[in-house]
Amino acid sequence: MTVVLVVVGGMVGAPLRFLLDRAVGSRTDSEFPWGTLTVNVIGSLILGALVGAAAQGSPVMALVGTGFCGALTTYSTFGYETVRLVEDGVRMYALANVVVSVAAGIAAAALGFAGAHALFA
C-alpha cells in the first residue's frame, strides 16, 4: 500500500512541478532559475510541516512527503541549472542560486515545522 501512495503522490507532484516551473519562468526575464527555486522552497515548507505535525511513519508521509514532495522538488535540476549558470559565465547567479536555494529551503522547512508543530503537537 505504501508504494501505491508514493506513486499517487508522485503522479500529482511531477506535473505540478513542471507547471509551476513554467509559470514562474514565463513571468521572469532572467537567467536565474526562479521556477526551480520556487518548487524547492514550496516542497521544503510542506515537508517541514509534515514533520512538525508528527506525520513520520504515517500513510500521509508516504503520500505527501515521499511521493508528492519527492516529485515536486528537484535536486538534479538545481544542480544542472547551477552548472549551466557557471558555464554561461554568470557566476554570481550560480552562487546566488546555491546560497538562496539552500537558505530558503532550510528556512521554509523550519517555518513549516514550527507552524505545524504549534498547531498539532
Residues 33-69: tens digit of each pLDDT: 999 999 999 999 999 999 998 877 789 999 999 999 9
**Spans of all domains in the chain:** 1-120
The mean-pLDDT minimum among 13-17, 51-55, 97-101, 107-111 falls in 51-55
pLDDT, residue 6, reads: 96
121 pLDDT above the threshold of 90 = no
- For the chain, give the mean pLDDT: 95
120 pLDDT above the threshold of 90 = no
Sequence ranges of the binding site: 70, 73
Q: How far is C-alpha 27 from the chain's CA centre?
A: 19
Other Cβ atoms closer than 10 A to 18? 14
Joined grid coordinates for residue 95: 552562487
Name 50's Cβ contacts closer than 8 Å, sequence gap at least 6.
56, 60, 61, 64, 65, 69, 112, 116
pLDDT, residue 54, reads: 80
pLDDT, residue 97, reads: 98
Sequence ranges of the binding site for Na(+): 70, 73
89: left (phi over 0), alpha (psi -120 to 50) or beta: left
Which three-class secondary structure state does DSSP give residue 100? helix
Residues 67-87: tens digit of each pLDDT: 999 999 999 999 999 999 999
- The amino acid that residue 61 corresponds to is M
23 pLDDT above the threshold of 80 = yes
